[in-house]
Structure formats: C-alpha cells, structure tokens
Amino acid sequence: MNQKCNSYIHFAVKANKVLWGLDQIKQSKYLPYIIIYDSSTGANSLKQLINFAKDNNVEIIEVEENYLNNLLKRNNVKIIGIIDESLSNAILSQK
C-alpha cells in the first residue's frame, strides 16, 4: 500500500470509523465498506472473514505481515474494517 492509503487509514482511525478484529466486524450494526487483513491472519479467521465478505458483498484487501501493527503502532492488529464510505473508496482507488 502507498503513503496515501496509509494516510486514509489513519484518518479513519482518528475519526473512529474503524472496526477492530473479526468479532467486532461481525457483531457491529455497521457494515464495513472494506476489510483490510494481515497475511499472518489464522486460517480459521481467514475462512470466516472470506465467508462474511462474500455474504455481505464487502471488499477485502490483504497486506503483508505486521503491516497494520507497524502502521497503527498497536500490537496484534490482524483485521480492521473501514465503515466510512468516502475513505473506503479513496483506499480502493489507490490500491
């Protein structure tokens, strides 16, 4: 991902438009427009994520291992969902 995508993800975090983790994504009343997941995500979580994305017509993006941890300066971040439509479209256009 490029620098603009990184900035868009930071904007989403600051605006509180991010769902953290698969459980929160599945239980939230808001449907994410895109889901970004780390390549080190477990097999079972990845299977659930793909099924959720297919059922709800959500775009998914895979990033390299520890990308989200390093970008967001947080530990153990494997999956995030962006619930802001304009930021999601901006990230998809830069992909």
Q: In what order do the strands lie in the sheet with 79-82?
A: 18-20, 79-82, 34-38, 59-63
Task: Output the pLDDT for position 2.
Answer: 85
What's residue 13's pLDDT? Answer: 94
Which are the contacts of 47, defined by CB distance < 8 A and separation ≥ 6? none
Q: What is this structure's pTM? A: 0.91
Mean pLDDT across the chain:
93
- Each residue's pLDDT tens digit, 54-83: 999 999 999 999 999 999 999 999 999 999
The DSSP-derived string for 12-48 is HHHTT-EEEHHHHHHH-SSPPSEEEEETT--HHHHHH
